[in-house]
Chain A
Amino acid sequence: GAVVSQHPSWVICKSGTSVKIECRSLDFQATTMFWYRQFPKQSLMLMATSNEGSKATYEQGVEKDKFLINHASLTLSTLTVTSAHPEDSSFYICSARDLGRGYEQYFGPGTRLTVT
């Protein structure tokens, strides 16, 4: 149990375009989902926290107009990187938590974004 999927697993896009990444909890209802970014050889950086049906809460320094997060249902959250630039190239990972199960966060497999 506690499986989280992400789609796509990797994406290459041109500078200035937008990319949408989906995160789904497959066998549980995710009351809260989290979006992280990880650069090579660095630790995970939390970008935002989203609760189903509410606006996302962004970490300091993360541009909410650039990284649009929607948590429309208890099993789906999306991250849209708008007007992507090469510096947005990174490994984006979502995680999900079901308060009914406890405080464990389960991570999706990640999406590797390359902006050319």
Chain B
Amino acid sequence: QKEVEQNSGPLSVPEGAIASLNCTYSDRGSQSFFWYRQYSGKSPELIMSIYSNGDKEDGRFTAQLNKASQYVSLLIRDSQPSDSATYLCAVIRAGGTSYGKLTFGQGTILTVHP
């Protein structure tokens, strides 16, 4: 089992729809969870961080965390073509807090078509 696994994609949604990106992690003691967006040829950009169970909203983005199910998701409302990118789920595993090493999923490619 991979340490961090994302829905394989690619994911294609029409403009204005909700895009749902999912991520599961294997280390039950993981404490910190992040979503990054990476455009082709560019470096990752932090979109959301979430540490507690429940939802966290920032503009069109909502991150959801369920530690019991070891599941974290990202919803993008009113998707725009500019949201087309690779989305990376990242986790800081238990015991890794002091160094803050991120463990990344393989990424999900999202395409928003007009």
**Which residues of A are in contact with B by a Cβ distance under 8 Å?**
2, 32, 34, 43-44, 46, 49, 57, 91, 93, 97, 99, 102-110
Contacts and interface: CB of A to CB of B under 8 A. Distances in A.
Contacts of A107: 36, 43-46
Nearest to B49: A104
Given A43-B104, A43-B107, A108-B43, A103 B88 contact: no
Contacts of A93: 43-44
Contact of A32 (B42, B43, B49, B100): B100
A49 B101 CA distance: 8
A49 B99 contact: yes
Given A103-B32, A109-B43, 6 more contacts: A34-B100, A43-B104, A103-B100, A107-B36, A107-B44, A107-B46
17 contacts: A32-B99, A32-B100, A34-B100, A34-B101, A43-B106, A43-B107, A46-B101, A49-B99, A97-B100, A103-B49, A103-B97, A105-B34, A105-B46, A105-B102, A106-B46, A107-B36, A109-B43
B112 interface: no
Interface in B80-105: 88, 92, 97, 99-102, 104-105
Nearest to A99: B100
Band of interface residues on B: 20 to 34
Interface string B30-46: 00101010000011111
Nearest to B48: A104
A104 B43 contact: no
A57 B98 CA distance: 13
Contacts of B97: 103
Nearest to A112: B41
Nearest to B31: A103
A76 to B, nearest CB: 18
Contacts of A32: 99-100
Nearest to A57: B99
Contacts of B92: 103
A44 B36 CA distance: 12
A105 B45 contact: no
